[in-house]
Each structure stands twice: as C-alpha cells, then as structure tokens.
C-alpha cells in the first residue's frame, strides 16, 4: 500500500529475511512496557501505542528498537497461546531464560499484508532452547 510504513523494512532491522538479534535486557524492558500497556487498555477497550522514540528511551544506547519491538510482540503473542510459556512464568513474569533465547533466536519477518498460519519461527525448537537455558 502506498505510503504505508513497514516497520520491519526500516533501516537495517532485517538481515537475510530474519530480524536482527537484540540484547535480552532491552527485550525484557519493551516486553514489560507492551504487556503493561495492553493490560491497562483492556478495561477501556481502547488501544494505545508507543512510538519509536519511546521504545528507544526504554532500550539501552544503540539498541535496534525496531527489532526489539518485533521480538517483544512475537513473545507477547506466544505468551497468549495455550500457556506455552507457563513453565517459565512466575507471578506474571517470564524467566530471564525466555528473554535470553528470544533475543537471539532466528525469527523471520512478517511482511505487511501476508497472512501466516503460525509464528514466523520454530516454536518447538525455541521452547527446547528456553528449557536448556533455564537449566543453566
């Protein structure tokens, strides 16, 4: 669509069709921000968004805020799927092992207008790696 801003084709966010790796601490901070905003929005039925500058303010210096946001969004979607991450969730918080794996796990981009059936990464392998990371 003309004039449409494709967040994942902005700058150097994507290399070879995969979203860039990010720092786990940045991913955790953005995930918390997005999760908390969604929780606040549910009662009102309204949705809010945070812009690029807001994301960059949450992340560390030099962070790829586009990739951090994308990975956080996928993690939020995954966390809503039939308690897939329940073994690593305690009091509403995900174990740091989830963020360490999600920060670097190969995740394909999802172009605007393309319908997918499932996540753009191997969920079973992701969960295996989270389990292994949690055992360390």
What is the C-alpha separation between 42 and 47, in angstroms, rounded?
Answer: 8
Query: Alpha-carbon torsion 74, 75, 80, 86, what sign?
Result: positive
Q: What is the mean pLDDT of the chain?
A: 84
Q: Which among 109, 17, 111, 125 is positioned nearest to 71, based on CA atoms? A: 109
Give pTM, 2 decimals.
0.82
Q: Residue 111 pLDDT more than 70?
A: yes
% of residues, the chain, pLDDT over 90: 54
């Amino acid at each position: 669509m003309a004039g449409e801003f494709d967040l994942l084709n902005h700058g150097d966010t994507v290399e070879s069709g995969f979203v860039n790796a990010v720092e786990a601490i940045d991913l955790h901070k953005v995930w918390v921000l997005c999760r908390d905003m969604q929780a606040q929005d549910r009662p009102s039925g309204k949705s809010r968004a945070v812009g690029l500058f807001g994301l960059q303010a949450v992340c560390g210096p030099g962070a790829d805020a586009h990739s951090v946001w994308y990975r956080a969004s996928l993690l939020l979607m995954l966390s809503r799927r039939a308690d897939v991450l329940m073994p690593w969730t305690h009091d509403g918080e995900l174990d740091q092992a989830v963020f360490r794996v999600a920060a670097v796990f190969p995740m394909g981009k999802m172009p605007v207008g393309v319908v997918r059936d499932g996540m753009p990464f191997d969920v079973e392998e992701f969960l295996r790696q989270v389990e292994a990371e949690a055992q360390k």
